[in-house]
Structure 1
Amino acid sequence: MHTPDNSHLYEEVLVSPMYLAGSNGTGDAGFAPIAHWPHHYLDDGPCQLLVTSPDQRIRIGWFGDDFELWKITAAEDATSAPRWTATFNHVTPAEIVAGLTTALAHDYAEAAASNTNGRFLTGPLPSWVDTVRPLTDAGWTRDAGAELGTVEIIAPDDQAGILIDKRGSGPYRKAVELWAGPPGWGTRAEAVFTARTPSHLVAATAAVMADSAPVIRERHQIDRRMEHLVTLTPVAPAATAAEPWVSRSPTPLDVRRTAVTQAVHRAARAPRTAADLRVMAARSRTATSTRAGAPSAVPAAVARPLLSPSAPRRSR
């Protein structure tokens, strides 16, 4: 990470592609879809925050000091062993985690309304095609050189992919891995799903990776080793290089951008409540209207995770 030695490093920028944006320090985006579920703060343990469905069958754990920052599970009931597990490491953008938590919130609400067990316990489909469809629809292609018994779909820039491992047996084996970035502790994002994870939940997570919308980060949050792989666009317009001392009146576009940025800061520093979700919705509407009037605007999705060590899993 950059040494924070000047204000330029704290400038907010839009980062694209999103899957290479890394962490911005908190997990707000990942928790936002389930902000209305019970929160359990466990400051003394490795799991610092546990958010559960009302019946505790779904559990989303935040391990703020670990390499595997997120651990998400679903079980038949509150006391059963997990049917499946998904983990996200410290480099994974929380926006990607939100793809899974959004799908889980929808599945749980649907199950409660219909008085059924819920799709989050249905298990994977026999074919891998639907699992990767959001990626192939976005132009990702199959790697012909993948190992026998595996399927790998690679992004057009070769900097992200999904690996489906059909070898081995057992419900707790690692069957699917979403990855992004070059190998390395601070550069490789990894999301791992065990064998019985429902296909539509993996697909929902993958769909976020396929989304072309950028995300907001501060410049110092971008690892130096990633700078040549991403596009950074300042959120706020800078003064001209020729006359940096010139002060100008803010335009309506500047005002809208400032309002969005302030809303993001407030949301990042306060617990998620129903009011926070209304702020997020308002920000999304503002971003949409801003895009209509200018080519560069703040996207609707913003995020937050943390850091910790481990060796890279893949050598790609």
Structure 2
Amino acid sequence: MRQSKQWAGWGAAGQQAQQHYLVEPRHLAGGGDLRHVTEYLRASGWKDRSKSGGPVVFDSPDKSVRIGYDPFTQPGGWTISGKKTAHQDAWHATFGRHTPVEIVAGLTDTLLTPRTAHAPNVWEPLLQQGWETERGQHFTARSPDGDAFVRFHQSDPGQTHWWVGARNEHGRVWEATFTPTTPMHLVQAFSTALADPEPVLRPLGHIPPSQRIRTTSVSVLPSQLGAWQQARITAARAATWTRNSFATQRSRTPPGTRPYAGQSGRVR
């Protein structure tokens, strides 16, 4: 464990600092605070369908995607499901309960932003962070510490399976799966968040019992935590405003003047 230090930031004088830890690698940091995901969805206009004492459930404004978190069943965890639309088959993704919320948010945040015309590449963010690839029965990328992996397998044409997971010295920590129809830009968003080398913040008492993690003790003021959370909510609202403004502007564009996006997603 590294030496404790005062976290540099803003906050009112006289507040009682609380002990937190910066944990790395993030894939072994534990689940974290669900509000990192849910408050972003709420600020983006998603409908909270959760019932008191029950699983967490959020529906997208157009009701095409549902995000849920269920800690009461086995194995439990996150489920994200997209309905079939005119341009997309139904799809489904699952993440174990101990999948860090910062990695889950990599995908869920991306649901709230317009899809770019660039072809997605799941492997690129992993390779940029030094993950090693191996080709066998499956195509696999492994983290530099060897404790996380992303695996791709194609059994038949159109039947591509993605399987992601992490383990420590005690065994499997979490797993994630994506159905073959999951949009690739969402899988790439997940792999980008997974490979991010930045540590994540966890409060005292929420550090996984593992020798595979590195921690830095920091003193955090309640006002600092509130400001960081508010910054994320503000970003969600700004993204929603931009998206809605773009949709309004596009609806006002006369027919025949809009660029055509083919199946590849590239504007022609």
TM value normalised by structure 2: 0.69
Percent identical across equivalent pairs? Answer: 28
SS, match of residue 99 in structure 1: helix
Give how far 1:163 is off.
0.7
Q: Label 1:140 to 1:184 Cα distance change in 2 as closer, same or farther (>3 A).
A: same
SS, match of residue 106 in structure 2: helix
Contact 2:40–2:232 at 8 Å: present in 1 too? no
Give the structure with the higher percent helix. Answer: 1
Contact 1:263–1:279 at 8 Å: present in 2 too? no
Structure 1 residues 262-310: Cα deviation after superposition (integer angstroms, max 9, x where no partner): 556xx6xxxxxx89713999xxxxxxxxxxxxxxxxxxxxxxxxxxxxx
1:211 to 196, 209, 213: 196
Q: Label 1:51 to 1:153 Cα distance change in 2 as closer, same or farther (>3 A).
A: same
Matched, 1:179 2:170: no
2:28 to 7, 20, 27: 20
**Alignment of structure 1 residues 142-291 onto 2, 5 Å:** 142-144=133-135, 146=136, 148=137, 150-168=138-156, 175-182=161-168, 187-224=172-209, 226=210, 228-236=211-219, 259-263=223-227, 277-278=233-234
Whole-angstrom CA distance in 1 between matches of 2:141 and 2:24: 20
Please, which runs of 5 or more residues in structure 1 have no aligned partner? 1-9, 111-118, 237-253, 268-273, 282-316
Q: Specify the code of the residue in structure 2 equivalent to 1:140.
A: W
Q: Label 1:176 to 1:57 Cα distance change in 2 as closer, same or farther (>3 A).
A: same
Contact 2:89–2:181 at 8 Å: present in 1 too? no
Matched, 1:63 2:54: no
Aligned to 2:4: none
2:48 to 33, 39, 54: 39
SS, match of residue 208 in structure 1: helix
Aligned to 2:122: 131
Give how far 1:183 is off.
7.5
Whole-angstrom CA distance in 1 between matches of 2:26 and 2:149: 13
Give the structure with the higher percent strand. Answer: 2
TM value normalised by structure 1: 0.60
SS, match of residue 188 in structure 1: strand
Contact 1:31–1:101 at 8 Å: present in 2 too? no
Aligned to 1:140: 131
